[in-house]
Structure 1
Amino acid sequence: MTIQCRECGAGLEHCHGTVIHHARHRIECTEDDCTTPEVVHTFSIDCEAVGCRCGRSAGAAGRPAAR
């Protein structure tokens, strides 16, 4: 038994970080200098989960202003 993840043990390309999907910006990873493709990340979240406002402003663009 090992504490190493399966992907590490198998030598597969992967990242232990989380992909953050932005509405108005490129995706980013929580790991510094990550170069692995989005599809090999196990975890992904929307940017609002980390306090980014770009998703909120994208959704509000099509709505009329409040009075």
Structure 2
Amino acid sequence: MECAFCTSGIDHCHGTLIVHPDGGFTECADPGCADPDRIRHGLIIDCHTVDGGCECTLPAERETVLRQAS
């Protein structure tokens, strides 16, 4: 099985683009990705769905838990 974008010569990335809530900061899970532009990625997820969570969402989650415990 071959990637249709690869065989067509279309610029793309096979990695997953991770979008953070703070100003739309993005990063790709593929360390070799040269351009974290949305148009180049077929799979785009929000950072809070990353297994183990994301550091940028942890303070807000911790504050909610602490508030519920009081």
Normalising to structure 1: TM-score of the pair?
0.70
Partner of 1:54: helix, strand, or coil? coil
RMSD: 2.6
- What are the ranges of 5 or more consecutive residues in structure 2 without an aligned counterpart? 62-66
Q: Is 36-45 or 13-22 further displaced after alignment?
A: 36-45
Matched-pair contact (CA < 8 Å) for 1:24–1:55: no
Task: Name the residue aligned to 2:41.
Answer: 41
Matched-pair contact (CA < 8 Å) for 1:20–1:45: yes
Task: Name the residue aligned to 2:15.
Answer: 17
Give the paired residue count.
Answer: 63
Equivalent residue letter for 2:15: G
Percent identical across equivalent pairs?
A: 37
Q: Does 1:28 align with 2:41?
A: no
Task: Name the residue aligned to 1:63.
Answer: none
- What are the ranges of 5 or more consecutive residues in structure 1 without an aligned counterpart? 60-65
Specify which structure has the higher proportion of helix: 2
Equivalent residue letter for 1:21: V
List structure 1 runs of 4+ shifted beyond 3 angstroms: 55-59
